Structure 1
Amino acid sequence: MLVQHEKFEVATNGKGTYEITNAVQDKIDKSDVRNGIVTIFVQHTSCSLTAMENAAPGARRDVERFFEKLVPEDADYEHDDEGPDDMPSHIRMLRNDYHQQKRISSQAIILL
């Protein structure tokens, strides 16, 4: 069984949604893996991963607004060691996950 480990960093401008599909696909393209499984993992406790069909800017903004309503930043949180958005970020992360596995077929990610 072939196992490869690669990593990349995502530059952000703070809170928001970030498209990483191309970065993951680029790592697959440069690998020897044609068919298999890719595990995507984020190493931070206040961010998460999700798969969305067609991550159009409007769809991403709708998701961001949904999470703002679901977990408002102005609620009375006890934990605010890293700022007022710290605890809401931790709670939002609980809705998704910090890792995902996707199939690879002919070196292409199968998102669904």
Structure 2
Amino acid sequence: MTHYQQLLKVQTTGKSLCKITSKVQAVVAESGVKIGLCTVFLRHTSASLVIQENADPDVLRDLENFLATLVPEDSRRYYHNAEGPDDMPAHIRTALTQTSEQIPISQGKLMLGTWQGIYIWEHRQRSHVREVVVHIAGE
């Protein structure tokens, strides 16, 4: 079994969903693995990873609006606010989502569905450089 790992650095644009599917697929192709498993791990506590709709941007907008309503940015509600009013809500949003995904690989490609994309969900107001570990295991 082959293992291949690469660290991606991705610049986000502030609170939004940043599509990284092609970057992850490029790592899969570079690995040479034809069949196996791709693990994608985000090394942060105020952003998350999601596999979501890649065709209609309204889906992403609705998700963002829903989570903003569920976890409002109101510094009066939280003790932790050293980095600004969006910091603690970002941690809560990450806790409600996830920081890793696993996607099967077949014929050297991610086995995502037709309408699925891999996204970093930036929960902070300002842009950040986010680190994503892509680990490939297979043959």
Asked if these proteins are the same fold (TM beyond 0.5), I'd say yes
Aligned to 1:24: 24
Say how many residue pairs are matched.
112
Structure 1: state its 5+ residue gaps. Answer: none
Q: Look up the match of 1:52.
A: 52
In the other structure, the counterpart of 2:42 is: 42
For residues 9-60 of structure 1, the C-alpha deviation after alignment (integer angstroms, 9 at most, x for no partner) is 1111222111111110111112211110001000011111111133532111
1:80 and 1:13 map into 2 onto residues whose CA distance is 21
Kindly state the Cα deviation for residue 111 of structure 1 after the two structures are TM-superposed: 2.6
In structure 2, the partner of 1:85 is 86
After superposition, what is the alpha-carbon deviation per residue over 1:62-104, rounded to whole angstroms, capped at 9, x for unaligned? 1110110110112511101111100000000111111111100
- Structure 1 stretches (4+) deviating beyond 6 angstroms? none
TM-score of the pair, normalised by structure 2: 0.75
Whole-Å Cα distance in 2 between the matches of residues 82 and 48 of structure 1?
A: 18
Higher RCO structure (Cα 8 Å, ≥6 apart) = 2
One-letter amino acid matched to 1:89: A
TM-score between the two structures when normalised by the length of structure 1: 0.92
Inter-partner Cα distance in structure 1 for 2:11 and 2:68 = 22
Contact 2:34 2:108 in 1 (8 A): yes
Determine what percentage of the aligned residue pairs are the same residue: 43
Residue in structure 2 matched with residue 8 of structure 1 by the alignment: 8
CA gap 1:21/1:94 in 2 versus in 1, 3 angstroms:
same
Unaligned runs of at least 5 residues, structure 2 = 114-139
| Distance change (3 Å), C-alpha of 1:39 and 1:55 | farther
